[in-house]
Every structure is written in structure tokens, then in C-alpha cells.
């Protein structure tokens, strides 16, 4: 009895699963000169989490051999290892023979293979979004926040927090923002079929009595997206990237500042925080940088120090093992060492310290911003070029001089790759 139910349940599952992932449709079609109806069918599938292009094709009932033919035709044109969940693949068949493959990479790009006289022909179908600009400006209201005021003015929440994140590198909102401060944002909207598919603040102006005035410009780097960000006109990046933690789990055993030393019992200044950890636990670099010392002394034990791009230095003490040496470049979150109990300690832990660019010891827990690169050379020149363009657009939009012709020309050939 139970087994019958189980079987029924399994059959139901198979049926509903295949229904939810594949959609089949049959469209009978009359071809000129054909005596018989040629039956056209299509099948589609959405890439699942963690699935590759090959297995997605197999779910469309292609044989492994057929799937490989398709992959070999596409792989020079599109990075198939970059397949993402929810991307759509559509196959079309004529009398059960596959004749078209469409891979919908995103809203703007579709890769197509068509069988023409026995040969697969590739084409990229590209939709051009319409670019529009919009200025949003206002005054910070009493008991309000900049995010609140921007969204109240109709700015989409993601774009509003992008504005705040860029400004936070320069303005301490808690202490420096006041009702009556002025803000102005130039938004770049990309639209397809009248629908906004992306909103990006490309110019931000904030002016307040306590904060001073800041103007930022969005720069799109053609070769490396890590540089695409909001900048001051002089090329200083406004990237707010929180520090990564040096340990997987952060539990502070002893805080920064004055304390009674656990070994000597004397009152002393603690130049960092002690983090709970066991011998062998991995220690990670909290930001990218260069190892400037790998040392040993009887108090701190085995140590590492990393100099970061903003000239601050992070310190790691009492290590058991080190995996980098002096002069090495390390990436953010790279494993650099193991927790230990070397030096003068009561037990295994990680002492984690931070020096600001003038050498003063600061509380590592309150350090927030670390990677603020400044553009130079060709990048700075390109950024200045883009800044001029943004200023032009701002002028046109602000003075209501925009007509479609001007805008189309301003934004021609612009890279929208950062969208995806």
C-alpha cells in the first residue's frame, strides 16, 4: 500500500519537475511548397544554481554529443564558465531537428546559433538601451536622512544608498549632516521598452555648513571593474569597503585602550584587540597590501605587518605559522598565518592592531575604510574625459537643453558592461 503511494508520488514529482523547468510548445507551420506540415517546436530551460551550460543543455534532452557541438560553437564567442543561475536557453526544432539555439545572457545580450545549410552560424543579438538623465535635488529635512529624502523624491533605493556610500567616505553624517544641507544628484537611467533597467548616480553634489561641499563623478573603467566607482575630480576614489575580519569568528577577549595587563598585572595601553582563537585557526589579511615585516620578539611572538593602499598598517601577533614573507603582496581575505601562542601570552589568541598613516595606534574595530586608491596616468586622463562628459550632460539637463539628438550623441558607444 505504502509503496503504491510512493510510486504515485514519485511519478507526480517527475511530472511536475519536468514541467517547471522545461516548457514545450508546438507551433505547426506551413512552409511554401511543402506538401506536408512542418512542425516547429521549442524547449526552454533556466540555468539552475551551480549548474553549468553543459548540464543545462542535457536537461533540454540534447545528447552529450549534440551539447558539445553547441558548446564548441559558442565558447569562442561567450565565456561559458560565467553562466549564471536564471539565464535562459531556448532551443527550436523543425520536425524534431534542432535548428536554433538562443542563450539569453542578460536583458541586453542574446547569443544565437542558427543552422544554415548544415552549418551553425553565430550571431549576437544586442538590444540598445535608451539612455536618459534626470536631476534630483533637494534640501535635507528636519529629522530625516539623505537616503530617506532621496527615496521620497523617487530615487530607487539602491541608487540612493550608492549616493550615501560614496559621500560617507568624506562626510560623517552623524556629526556633520544638518537639516538645510543641499544635495543634487544626476542619475543615468537605462531603459528597455520604456522600462528602467538600471539607475546609476553619475554626479553627486553635497553642500552643508559643517560638512563643506563635495562633488563626485562616476568613472567606468574599461578594463577592470575594480576601478569603476565614484571619484573626486582629482582622481581620489570614494570606495567604502569595510575591513574584512582577520578570523572567521570574531570574539574580542580584550579591548583596545587602557587595561590591566593579563600577564604583568600593570596598567598599560593595549595597542590593539585580542581575538579569541585556537592554535592553527587561519588568520586572514583584512585588506590587500604588502607584507612589510615578518618578525619575532619575546612579547609579540611571531608577527606579521601589512602596509595597505591608504598607508595604514595592520599587525598580527602571537602567530604559530606564517604563510607569507616580507615583500609579498597579499589580497584581501587571503590566508596569511595561523593563530598561535608565541610571545608573552596567557593562552592562544590573535592580537590584531592597526596604525594609521602617521603611525598612531588606532582601534582596529572602528577602522572602516581602507581601500581608497587614487587614479593616475592613463586612468586619470580617461577619468577626466568622462568627468567632462558628465559635466556637459549636467549642464544640458539642468538648463533643459536636452533633445534626443544631443543625448544620443553624448552616450554613443558607451560601455554598459558594468551593469552585469
Q: 133 or 351: whose CB is closer to Zn ion?
A: 351
Minimum gap (Å) between residue 420 Cβ and Zn ion: 45
Q: 105 or 315: whose CB is closer to Zn ion?
A: 315
Query: Is residue 327 packed enough to be buried (19+ CB in 10 Å), middle (13-18) or exposed (0-12)?
Result: exposed
Q: 207 or 276: whose CB is closer to Zn ion?
A: 276
Region binding Zn ion by CB under 5 A among candidate stretches 54-62, 168-176, 293-301, 349-357: 349-357
Closest CA to 320 of 302, 306, 304: 302
Minimum gap (Å) between residue 200 Cβ and Zn ion: 44
Q: DSSP characters for 302-340?
A: EEEEEEETTS-EEEEEEEEEES--TT-EE-TT-EEEEEB
Report CA-CA distances (Å) from 420 to 24, 79, 408: 29, 13, 22
Residue 378 CB contacts under 8 Å (≥ 6 apart), including other chains? none
Q: 188 or 351: whose CB is closer to Zn ion?
A: 351
Q: Cell for 414?
A: 558607451
Does residue number 162 form part of the binding site for Zn ion (CB under 5 A)? no
User: Looking up cell 559558442, which residue turns up?
Assistant: 74
Q: Cell for 46?
A: 533556466
Local structure of 203: helix, strand or coil: strand
Helices 377-398 and 404-411: crossing angle in degrees, nearest 10, is: 170
Q: 218 or 317: whose CB is closer to Zn ion?
A: 317
Cβ burial 45-69 (10 Å sphere, 16+ → b, else e): bbbeeebebbebbbbbebeeeebeb
List the interface residues with Zn ion, window 266-285 (CB under 5 A): 274
Minimum gap (Å) between residue 270 Cβ and Zn ion: 6
Minimum gap (Å) between residue 328 Cβ and Zn ion: 24
Residue whose beta carbon is closest to Zn ion: 351
Minimum gap (Å) between residue 326 Cβ and Zn ion: 22
Q: Are 43 and 24 in contact (CB under 8 A)?
A: yes
Q: 15 or 299: whose CB is closer to Zn ion?
A: 299
Minimum gap (Å) between residue 359 Cβ and Zn ion: 18
Minimum gap (Å) between residue 351 Cβ and Zn ion: 3
Size of the site for Zn ion (CB under 5 A): 2
Give the torsion through C-alpha atoms of 394, 400, 404, 407, to 10 deg: -10
Q: 169 or 243: whose CB is closer to Zn ion?
A: 243
Does residue number 351 form part of the binding site for Zn ion (CB under 5 A)? yes
Does residue number 43 form part of the binding site for Zn ion (CB under 5 A)? no
Minimum gap (Å) between residue 345 Cβ and Zn ion: 8
Minimum gap (Å) between residue 249 Cβ and Zn ion: 17
Angle formed at CA 16 by CA 12 and CA 18, multiple of 5 degrees: 120
User: Rounded to whole angstroms, how far apart are CA atoms 309 and 248?
Assistant: 23
Q: Are 185 and 146 in contact (CB under 8 A)?
A: no
Q: 170 or 344: whose CB is closer to Zn ion?
A: 344
Q: Are 109 and 150 in contact (CB under 8 A)?
A: no
Closest CA to 344 of 317, 306, 313: 317
Q: 322 or 351: whose CB is closer to Zn ion?
A: 351
Q: 225 or 293: whose CB is closer to Zn ion?
A: 293
Minimum gap (Å) between residue 201 Cβ and Zn ion: 42
Which residues bind to Zn ion, rule: CB under 5 A? Answer: 274, 351
Amino acid at each position: 500500500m505504502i509503496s503504491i503511494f510512493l510510486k504515485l508520488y514519485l511519478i507526480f514529482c517527475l511530472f511536475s519537475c519536468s514541467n517547471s523547468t522545461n516548457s514545450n510548445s508546438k507551433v505547426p507551420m506551413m512552409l511554401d511548397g511543402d506538401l506536408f506540415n512542418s512542425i516547429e517546436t521549442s524547449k526552454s530551460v533556466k540555468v539552475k544554481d551551480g549548474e553549468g551550460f553543459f548540464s543545462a543543455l542535457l536537461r533540454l534532452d540534447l545528447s552529450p554529443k549534440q551539447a558539445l557541438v553547441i558548446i564548441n560553437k559558442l565558447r569562442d564567442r561567450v565565456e561559458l564558465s560565467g553562466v549564471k543561475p536564471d539565464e535562459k536557453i531556448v532551443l527550436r526544432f523543425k520536425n524534431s531537428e534542432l535548428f536554433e539555439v538562443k542563450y539569453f545572457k542578460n536583458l541586453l545580450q542574446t547569443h544565437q546559433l542558427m543552422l544554415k545549410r548544415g552549418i551553425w552560424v553565430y550571431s549576437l543579438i544586442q538590444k540598445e538601451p535608451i539612455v536618459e538623465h534626470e536631476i534630483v535635488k533637494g534640501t535635507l529635512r528636519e529629522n530625516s536622512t539623505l537616503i530617506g529624502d532621496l527615496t521620497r523624491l523617487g530615487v530607487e533605493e539602491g541608487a540612493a544608498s550608492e549616493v550615501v556610500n560614496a559621500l560617507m567616505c568624506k562626510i560623517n553624517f552623524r556629526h556633520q549632516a544638518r537639516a538645510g544641507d543641499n544635495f543634487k544628484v544626476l542619475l543615468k537611467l537605462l531603459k528597455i521598452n520604456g522600462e528602467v533597467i538600471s539607475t546609476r548616480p553619475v554626479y553627486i553634489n553635497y553642500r552643508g555648513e559643517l560638512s563643506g561641499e563635495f562633488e563626485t563623478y562616476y568613472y567606468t573603467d574599461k578594463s577592470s571593474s575594480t576601478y569603476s566607482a565614484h571619484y573626486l575630480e582629482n582622481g581620489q576614489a570614494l570606495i567604502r569597503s569595510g575591513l574584512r575580519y582577520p578570523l572567521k569568528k570574531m570574539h574580542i577577549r580584550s579591548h583596545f585602550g587602557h587595561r590591566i595587563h593579563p600577564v604583568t598585572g600593570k596598567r598599560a595601553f593595549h595597542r590593539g584587540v585580542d581575538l579569541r582563537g585556537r592554535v592553527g585557526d587561519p588568520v586572514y589579511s583584512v585588506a590587500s597590501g604588502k607584507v612589510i615585516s615578518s618578525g619575532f620578539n619575546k612579547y609579540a611572538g611571531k608577527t606579521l605587518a601589512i602596509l595597505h593602499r591608504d598607508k595604514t598598517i595592520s599587525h598580527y601577533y602571537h602567530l604559530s605559522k606564517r604563510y607569507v614573507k616580507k615583500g609579498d603582496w597579499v589580497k584581501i581575505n587571503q590566508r596569511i598565518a595561523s593563530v598561535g601562542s608565541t610571545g608573552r601570552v596567557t593562552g592562544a589568541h590573535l592580537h590584531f592592531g592597526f596604525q594609521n598613516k602617521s603611525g598612531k595606534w588606532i582601534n582596529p574595530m572602528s577602522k572602516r575604510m581602507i581601500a581608497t586608491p587614487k587614479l593616475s596616468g592613463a586612468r586619470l586622463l580617461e577619468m577626466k574625459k568622462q568627468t567632462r562628459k558628465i559635466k556637459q550632460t549636467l549642464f544640458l539637463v539642468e538648463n533643459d537643453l536636452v533633445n534626443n539628438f544631443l543625448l544620443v550623441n553624448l552616450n554613443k558607444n558607451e560601455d554598459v558592461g558594468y551593469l552585469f
